[in-house]
Structure 1
Amino acid sequence: MDFDFSDDQEQLRDAVRKYVDKGYTFDRRRAAEKAGGFDAAAYAELAELGLTGLYVPEDDGGMGMGPIEGMVVMEELGRGLVMEPLAQSLIAGAVLAGYADAATRTAWLPGVASGEKLVTLAYQERGSRYALDAIAGKAHQAPGGYVLNATKSIVAAGDKADAYIVSAKVNSVMGLFLVERESAGVSTRGYNTQGGGRAAEVAFKNAPATLITTQGQAALEHAVDIGIAATCAEAVGVMDKTLDITAEYMNTRKQFGVAISSFQALRHRMADMKMQLELARSMSFYASLKLNAPAPERRAAMARAKYQLGTSMRFIGQQAVQLHGGIGVTDEYIVSHYFRKLTELELSFGDTLHHLGEVSARMQDTAGVFA
Structure 2
Amino acid sequence: MDFDFTEDQESLRDAVRRWVDKGFPFERRHALAKAGGGTREVWGELADLGLTGLTVSPDHGGMGFGPVEAMVVGEELGRGLVNAPYAHGALLAPALLADAPAALQTAWLPKIADGSALVIPALQERSARYRVGHVTTRAAHSGDGWRLTGAKSVVPAGDEADAFIVAARTAGDDHSTEGIGLFLVERGADGLAVRGYPTHDGARAADLTLSATPAQMIGADGAAALSFASDLGIAAVAAEGVGLMDRFTAITVEYMNTRKQFGVPIASFQALRHRIADVKMALELGRSMSYYATLKLGEPEPQRRRALSQAKVQLGQSMRTVGQQCVQLHGGIGVTDEYVGSHYFKRLTMLEMAFGDTLHHLGEVSDRMQDTAGVFA
> TM exceeds 0.5?
yes
- Give how far 1:41 is off: 1.6
Q: Is the 8 A contact 2:138 2:170 kept in 1?
A: yes
2:44 aligns with 44
Distance, in Å, in 2 between the alignment partners of 1:157 and 1:81 is 16
- Measure the CA separation in 1 of the matches of 2:324 and 2:227: 31
User: How much does 1:367 deviate?
Assistant: 2.6
In structure 2, C-alpha distance between the alignment counterparts of 1:224 and 1:187, rounded to whole Å: 25
| Cα distance in 2 between the residues matched to 1:366 and 1:27 | 50
- Within the alignment, does 1:170 sit opposite 2:170 as a pair? yes
How many Å apart are 1:86 and its aligned residue? 0.7
The equivalences for 1:56-135 within 5 A come to 56-88=56-88, 89-97=90-98, 99-135=99-135
Q: C-alpha distance in 2, partners of 1:43/1:194?
A: 20
Tell me the residue number matched to 2:333: 327
Please list every run of 5 or more consecutive structure 2 residues that lacks an aligned counterpart in the other structure: 173-178
Match of 1:267 among 252, 273, 276: 273
Residues 78 and 243 in structure 2, CA contact (< 8 A), matched pair in contact too: yes
| Superimposed CA distance per residue, residues 208-247 of structure 1 (whole angstroms, 9 cap, x where no aligned partner) | 1111111211011111111110010000000000000000
Q: Give the whole-Å Cα distance in 1 for the aligned partners of 2:62 and 2:121.
A: 19
TM-score by structure 2 length? 0.96
- The residue that corresponds to 2:175 in the other structure is none
Map Cα deviations across residues 60-110 of structure 1 (whole Å, 9 max, x no partner).
11010000000000000000101101101211111112x211111111100
Q: CA deviation at 1:39?
A: 2.8
Aligned to 1:225: 231
How many percent identity over aligned positions? 61
Give secondary structure in 2 for the equivalent of 1:55: coil
| Per-residue deviation, 1:263 | 0.4
Paired position in structure 2 for 1:308: 314
The within-5 A match list for 1:138-157 is 138-157=138-157
Q: Where in structure 1 are there 5+ consecutive unaligned residues?
A: none
Q: CA RMSD in A?
A: 1.2
Q: How big is the shift at 1:171?
A: 2.4
Q: Look up the equivalent residue of 1:311 and give its one-letter code.
A: Q
Q: 1:21 maps to what in 2?
A: 21
CA–CA distance in 2 between the matches of 1:56 and 1:194? 30
In the superposition, the TM-score normalised over structure 1's length comes to: 0.98
Give 2:292's aligned residue.
286
Q: Does 1:197 align with 2:203?
A: yes
Question: Structure 1 CA distance, aligned partners of 2:194 and 2:243?
Answer: 31
Query: In 1, Cα distance between the equivalents of 2:111 and 2:144?
Result: 23
Moved over 2 A (4+): 366-369
In the alignment, the residues of structure 2 paired with residue 335 and residue 197 of structure 1 have an alpha-carbon distance, to the nearest angstrom, of 16
Q: State the partner residue of 2:355.
A: 349
1:251 to 248, 257, 272: 257
For the 8 Å contact 1:93–1:113, the answer to whether it is kept is no
Distance 1:283 1:257 in 2: 40
The count of corresponding residues between Structure 1 and Structure 2 is 370
Q: Distance in 2 between matches of 1:27 and 1:214?
A: 45
> In 2, distance between residues paired with 1:34 and 1:325?
23
Aligned-partner Cα distance in 2 for 1:272–1:258: 22
Distance in structure 2 (CA, Å) of the matches to 1:276 and 1:366: 26
